[in-house]
């Protein structure tokens, strides 16, 4: 702007001077504003330090410690006491960083996340109850399912027309008699899971019971994920018949998502199938007999199959055992 003023002072037209300086003509000719320091006016009725301290003391007293400023103002005004306006009380609280929720709120203690570790089968079981659609709308069956978290194997399943702690205890007793008594049984906080009947049964068997945290829906992940896998499967029927067809329903629940036959007791993960066996590759048969379109391919890979076939087959069989 100094250069522009020098050019215009020597008689250069404003348009030419603005073009030489590189500024718009309107910007160059605009008169700059001068900001004058404005004097801060202090109100005559401004509260001093002692009055602000008195307001803060009254607001934080035992009588008003959990009340908002509007209620404090109203109660004092009913008694004929004018402490300060509502906005002034808020202003004093803001200066002391006390503008927050003043009511007494429940403080929930932090709960530890339940962590269960299973190093082998038969150590930790998890169970839950899910609804199955019945023959008519609004009619449901309750499926009691217990899973071994080490191998995701279904060790027990029962279907009943209603949810009951007695039925849950019967399912546990039968499951423990077949697969053995585990060390820990985990479940959510349903009425049947936290009932005295189930608690007494686990206490008599010296089994540690574990429950999900309150208001936490993902602390029982193995049972919930299995229920979703079951109900999202393409072969899951829209509805089941009556309880008279329980063998068919039990067969679907037990055999629909895991290989059969089920071993009575699983001592190792290799003897405890939890997934389907691997499907054979389509090219294995062609490689074994040789491809007439590529005769050299079978000769080149015959030696590698001979050296690696045994080790690879044993590794796959140890990880993915085939059902007999």
Complete DSSP assignment for 120-183: STTSEEEEEEEEEE-SSTT-EEEEEEEEETTTTEEEEEEEESS--HHHHHHHHHHHHHHH---S
Among 43-57, 102-116, 137-151, 245-259, the range scoring the smallest mean pLDDT is: 245-259
How many helices and strands (H and E) does the chain possess? 12, 5
Neighbours of 1 (CB within 10 A): 11
The 8-class DSSP code of residue 260 comes to S
Residue of 284 and 243 predicted with greater confidence = 243
Higher-pLDDT residue of 250 and 210 is 210
Q: What is the share, in percent, of the chain residues with pLDDT greater than 90?
A: 35
Q: At 36, is the pLDDT very low, low, confident or very high (cuts 50, 70, 90)?
A: confident
Number of Cβ atoms within 10 Å of the Cβ of 309: 10
> What distance in Å separates the CA atoms of residue 117 and residue 221, rounded to the nearest whole number?
14
Question: Are 185 and 207 in contact, with CB atoms under 8 Å apart?
Answer: yes
Strand partners, 144: 129, 158
Contact 143, 226 (CB under 8 A): no
Across 83-87, 93-97, 101-105, 152-156, least confident range = 101-105
Higher-pLDDT residue of 112 and 40 is 40
Cα four-point dihedral sign 219, 222, 224, 228: positive
pLDDT of 303 higher than 70: no
pLDDT at 87: 93
Strands 140-148 and 124-133: antiparallel
Nearest-CA neighbor of 156 among 177, 135, 139? 177
Predicted local confidence at residue 219, as pLDDT:
87
Three-class DSSP category at 211: strand
Distance, C-alpha 256 to centroid of its chain: 28
Give the span between the Cα atoms of 276 and 323, in whole angstroms: 9
The neighbouring-strand residues paired with 127 are 146
Query: What angle separates helix 49-59 from helix 69-78, to the nearest 10 degrees?
Result: 100
- How is residue 258 annotated by DSSP? S
Highest mean pLDDT among 95-109, 168-182, 267-281: 168-182
Q: Which two tokens stand for residue 226?
A: 């299995």
Helix axis angle, 165-179 relative to 196-204, nearest 10°? Answer: 20
Q: What number is the average pLDDT over the span 223-230?
A: 89
Q: Which helix (H) or strand (E) holds 186?
A: strand 184-187
pLDDT value for 295: 59
- Euclidean distance between the first and the last CA atom of the chain, given in angstroms as a whole number: 94
């Amino acid at each position: 702007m100094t250069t522009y003023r020098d050019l215009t002072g020597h008689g250069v037209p404003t348009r030419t001077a603005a073009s030489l300086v590189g500024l718009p003509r309107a910007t160059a000719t605009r008169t700059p504003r001068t900001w004058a320091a404005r004097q801060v006016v202090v109100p005559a009725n401004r509260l001093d330090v002692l009055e602000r301290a008195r307001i803060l003391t009254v607001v934080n007293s035992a009588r008003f410690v959990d009340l908002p400023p509007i209620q404090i103002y109203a109660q004092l005004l009913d008694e004929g006491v004018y402490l300060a306006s509502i906005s002034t009380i808020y202003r004093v609280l803001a200066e002391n960083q006390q503008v927050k929720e003043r009511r007494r709120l429940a403080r929930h203690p932090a709960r530890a996340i339940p962590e269960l570790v299973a190093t082998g089968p038969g150590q930790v079981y998890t169970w839950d109850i899910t609804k199955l659609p019945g023959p008519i709308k609004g009619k449901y069956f309750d499926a009691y399912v217990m899973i071994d978290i080490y191998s995701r194997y279904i060790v027990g399943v029962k279907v009943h027309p209603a949810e009951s702690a007695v039925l849950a205890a019967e399912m546990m007793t039968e499951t423990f008699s077949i697969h053995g008594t585990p060390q820990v049984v985990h479940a959510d906080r349903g009425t049947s899971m936290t009932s005295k009947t189930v608690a007494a049964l686990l206490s008599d068997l010296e089994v540690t019971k574990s429950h999900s945290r309150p208001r936490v829906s993902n602390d029982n992940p193995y049972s919930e994920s299995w229920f979703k896998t079951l109900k999202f499967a393409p072969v899951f029927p829209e509805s089941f018949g009556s309880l008279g067809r329980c063998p068919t329903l039990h067969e679907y629940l037990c055999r629909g998502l895991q290989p059969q036959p089920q071993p009575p007791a699983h001592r190792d993960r290799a003897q405890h199938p939890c997934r389907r066996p691997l499907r054979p590759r389509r090219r294995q048969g062609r490689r074994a007999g040789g491809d007439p379109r590529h005769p050299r391919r079978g000769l080149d890979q015959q030696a590698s199959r001979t050296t690696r076939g045994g080790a690879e087959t044993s590794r796959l069989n140890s990880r993915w055992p085939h059902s007999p």
